[in-house]
Structure 1
Amino acid sequence: MFMGEYRHNIDIKGRLIVPAKFREALGDKFVITRGLDKCLFAYPGEEWSKLEEKIQTLPLTKKDARSFTRFFFSGASECELDKQGRINIPSNLMGYAGLEKETVIIGVSNRIEIWSENSWDDFFTESEESFSDIAENMIGFDI
């Protein structure tokens, strides 16, 4: 399980340090792709395979299903950690998430998310103000 929040900078060569607590669970190779809310999602191989199977069951006859599948898989890229625990994020994904230098890497159960620091801070502030309302709406999910 991934949890926690870490702040790291992308270096001049476009490399980002993955927090040590996440490295073992991600494995040597993992998949990074466009996420929701203008962040990136990174999945260990096993979790990616589960997600891939679920997405493959979406009906091709539904426009939203086709759009989501294209969006999600066209941005996917396999990543490997180097000896220093860094990854190179493809430029198209950096552009999508607005990553420049300061980033926030968060653990979200079965995946990690990579945010630009500004986007994360804005999202957090906005969500923090309505957290009680969000939590109330989650009651129907047995949380």
Structure 2
Amino acid sequence: MSHFLGEFDCKLDAKGRMMIPAGLKKQLPEAEREGLVINRGFEKHLVIYTRKEWDKIVDDLSKLNQYEKKTREFIRYFTRGATELTLDSSNRVLLPKNLLEYAGISTDVVLACQFNKIEVWNQAAYDEQMDNAPENFADLAEEVMGGAGRRVDE
């Protein structure tokens, strides 16, 4: 499985359409045929998945114990607003108004690729998040990735 790479600045037009940048479009060969899915992120941003990746996530969710209240709540909140996106002939996607409002997105957008997904951020919110980087990134890396006795190649 390949992972998405890059960070792209975009603008929404008056109708809420966003052009997929050429560098990202090259990484999405199946998008025109299979489509994309967008939904809410865990922070105030949106997340785009390929249809294939979304189907894997939904398959994992369907295996959870839905007799547990927390599981039902998580599934409900996680899938809330999930919408299929279709590329038009100009390589644009129409982002749903309710999701744009949730993420505080109006015009300037950052697409930040992370492994199997593309995060969609309000430019100012993304800049603020990145400006609040930890004082010592090496300490954070050690805390998250170091682990006692953990080998680098594990």
Same fold (TM over 0.5): yes
2:79 corresponds to which residue?
73
Deviation at 1:8, TM superposition (A): 0.9
Q: Secondary structure at the match of 1:118?
A: helix
Q: Distance in 1 between matches of 2:131 and 2:15?
A: 31
Change over 3 Å in CA distance of 1:60–1:84 after alignment to 2: same
Deviation at 1:131, TM superposition (A): 2.9
Q: Secondary structure at the match of 1:83?
A: coil
1:39 corresponds to which residue?
45
Q: What are structure 1's unaligned runs of at least 5 residues?
A: none
Identity of aligned pairs, percent? 34
2:66 corresponds to which residue?
60
TM-score calculated relative to the size of structure 1: 0.90
Q: Distance in 1 between matches of 2:81 and 2:136?
A: 31
Q: Distance in 1 between matches of 2:135 and 2:73?
A: 32
Q: Secondary structure at the match of 1:61?
A: coil
Change over 3 Å in CA distance of 1:103–1:142 after alignment to 2: farther
Q: What are structure 2's unaligned runs of at least 5 residues?
A: none
Deviation at 1:60, TM superposition (A): 1.5
Change over 3 Å in CA distance of 1:123–1:49 after alignment to 2: same
Match among 94, 99, 107 for residue 100 of structure 2: 94
* Higher alpha-carbon deviation: 61-70 or 40-49: 61-70
What is the identity, as a one-letter code, of the residue corresponding to 1:18? I
What is the identity, as a one-letter code, of the residue corresponding to 1:118? A
Aligned alpha-carbon RMSD (Å):
1.8
Q: Number of residue pairs matched?
A: 143
2:21 corresponds to which residue?
19
CA radius of gyration, larger in: 2
Q: Distance in 2 between matches of 1:53 and 1:142?
A: 31
